[in-house]
Each structure stands twice: as C-alpha cells, then as structure tokens.
Amino acid sequence: MNTEKVIHFIKQNKLLNVSELERQAKIPTNSLRKALSGTQGLKQQHVEELERLLTPLGYKNSTDVNIISVLNNKANSGKTTTTLNLGKALAMKGKKVLLIDADPQSALSEYAKNKVDVDFYHLIQHPSTEKDKIITPMGEHLDMITSSIQLDIANIEYGMGGLSGIYQIRNAFTHFSFLYDYILIDCPSSFNAISISAVLASTDLIIPVHPESYNTQGLSTMTKMITSVRDINTSLGNPHILFTGIKSSNSSHKSFLKHINDSLKSDFNVFDTIIHHTIGFEGTVTSKQNIFDYAPTSRGCKDFEQLASEIL
C-alpha cells in the first residue's frame, strides 16, 4: 500500500527530479521511472528510502492523517461554519488541512475564491485527477475541494452500486490524505451514499448541535447509522458533540446544555469547548470569509481557536 502512496505523491509533484530520487534512494537507474509507468514494482527497502526522502517535501503516510466528518441531518446546526472555521484554526496552528465540501448544497464552496473548474464529483469519477486540477487554495496550510449539485447524481449512481459504489466514494475522500494532517468533510444534511462513505473514511466525527434546531429523533437515527458503519470502520472513535450558537445569558440554552450532557454522555463525547452565538458569524456568510479574517477579535475566533487546541 505504501508503494502506491509513494508513486502517487511523485506523480502529483511534477517538479521532482526522478533521476535524482533514484540516485539518493540507491534505486537502479530507470527502475523508478518504470514503477511510475506501472511496468515494474519497487522493493520495500527502496519504498522506505523514498518515504524518508519525500517526507520533508510534504509526503505523509495516510495512517497519520485525521479525517473528521462534520455531520448533522438537521439544517442550521452550524455544520458548515464549524468545518470552515475549525479548518482555519488548525491551519493557523501549522497543520496542513484539506476541506472537502461533500454537500450538494455547496454552502462551504461559496467561501472558495478563484475556484478550479472541477469538483468532488469529478474526483469520484476520475480517481487519477491531479492535485492542481481539483484543489482550491484557501490560504496558508489550507485547501478545499469544492462541491456541486452533481453530487446528487453521485448519490444515485454510486448508491445503487452497493458496497463497491460506496467504497469508490470513500476512496475519493482519502485520495490526497498523504498530503495533509487533517481532512475535514462537510457532509450532506441527509443520510445517503455520500454521508455513509464519509463516515467510512473518517477517524473522528463531529456533530454540531444548536439549541434552536436540535432534534432528538434525528440524533437517534444518526447514532444507528454510525453504529452500523463502525462495524466496518473499526478505527472510528466515539462521535463528539459540539454545542453551537450558545447564548450564555439564555436560561433555556443553559438547560439545553445540561440536558444533552446528562442524556447523551454514554453514547457521545462532548467537547469542553462551546461555540457561542457571535454576531460576526452572520457577517462571514455575506462576506464569504472565515471568522478569523472577518472578525479577528471576536469571541467566535477564541472559541474555534480553543476547539482546535482541544482537538490537538
């Protein structure tokens, strides 16, 4: 498996000098070129040496990546806000972060300026897609793969394909995993082939819960889906509840926090960090900016910086 990741990394980085890599890794002349063309394999000792040489250049073993799906089947839970601003907070701490908009509504994609022409649906269909054709830079250490309404088509096409279709979508989520420390997935607000595939690919789940849009039945349904997927994805940890839109002075919000903590702590982890109601979040939607760029001294910035620290 590492051989495939090394080959993929070299193919994605066209400025690498293949002859120089062969020399430094003590690989016989033209052997690496043949491996890149698929006509010859690589010895394990050569793969390990290439990994050592490529790591300072950004290569990562995908087992090191943290893939976090942000999901809730209830609208206005803070799902997209969480994905965007947590990603920015982690990037500000020096982590390489990829945001994937997996929602056909494309709310996260609206924050991407100078978007490339292809999106996540294209990556599902064409696994050999090169990085510069699909990834939109969002700032230092932060990238995005955007979405489109065509993901609705993917749900039908690949959902009807059974497990093979689900795994093809799952593989698209992990396609660039060796380049990043964190991949954050903004999942659709429904349970379908895309969301199931995202959970299959994930190491962790964040469920944003807003007091004004909380739905007990929806959370129960989500729990059943997660439990089923965990039978296959054994590396998936317990989901984390993240409280969003909290008004500290609101007594009903305080009661809500206590109720959730008391009733769900056996099935979920609950973040200590709370994302408070911040007027600045409304401005980020219209300006298409993250909270750190739009309102750098706001409480929202402090909350997401604290959340990133808690995750790290």
Tens-digit pLDDT profile for residues 121-157: 999 999 888 888 999 999 999 999 999 999 999 888 8
pLDDT over 90, % of the chain: 45
What's the farthest any 2 CA atoms get from each other in the chain? 72
pLDDT at position 158: 85
* Percent of the chain as helix, strand, coil, to the nearest 5: 50, 10, 40
**Average pLDDT of the residues in 291-304:** 93
pLDDT at position 61: 66
Query: For residue range 190-216, what is the model confidence (pLDDT) as tens digits?
Result: 888 999 999 999 999 999 988 776 665
Q: Is 135:129 a contact under the CB 8 Å cutoff?
A: no
pLDDT at position 128: 80
pLDDT confidence tier of residue 45, bands split at 50, 70 and 90: confident
pLDDT at position 217: 62
pLDDT at position 109: 96
For 62-311, CATH gives 3.40.50.300
Is the per-residue pLDDT at 84 higher than 80? yes
pLDDT at position 154: 87
Which run of H or of E encompasses 252?
helix 251-264
pLDDT at position 280: 81
pLDDT at position 68: 97
Going from N- to C-terminal start, the domains of the chain cover 2-57, 62-311
Is the per-residue pLDDT at 59 higher than 80? no
What's the chain's average pLDDT?
87
| Least reliable range by pLDDT among 17-31, 213-227, 241-255 | 213-227
Is the per-residue pLDDT at 86 higher than 90? yes
pLDDT at position 242: 93
Query: For residue range 245-288, what is the model confidence (pLDDT) as tens digits?
Result: 888 778 788 787 887 777 776 678 889 999 998 888 888 888 89
pLDDT at position 82: 96
Higher pLDDT among residues 218 and 72, named by residue:
72
By C-alpha distance, which of 235, 145, 222 is closest to 185? 145
Is the per-residue pLDDT at 62 higher than 70? no
Is the per-residue pLDDT at 1 higher than 60? no
The three-state secondary structure class of 59 is coil
Beta-bridge partners for 269:
240
Query: For residue range 174-192, what is the model confidence (pLDDT) as tens digits?
Result: 989 888 999 999 999 888 8
* Residue with token string 């300026």: 113
Is the per-residue pLDDT at 171 higher than 70? yes
pLDDT at position 122: 94
- Residue 276 CA to residue 246 CA, distance in Å, equals 4
pLDDT confidence tier of residue 72, bands split at 50, 70 and 90: confident
pLDDT at position 54: 86
pLDDT at position 218: 66
* Residue with token string 């739905």: 215
Beta-bridge partners for 276:
246
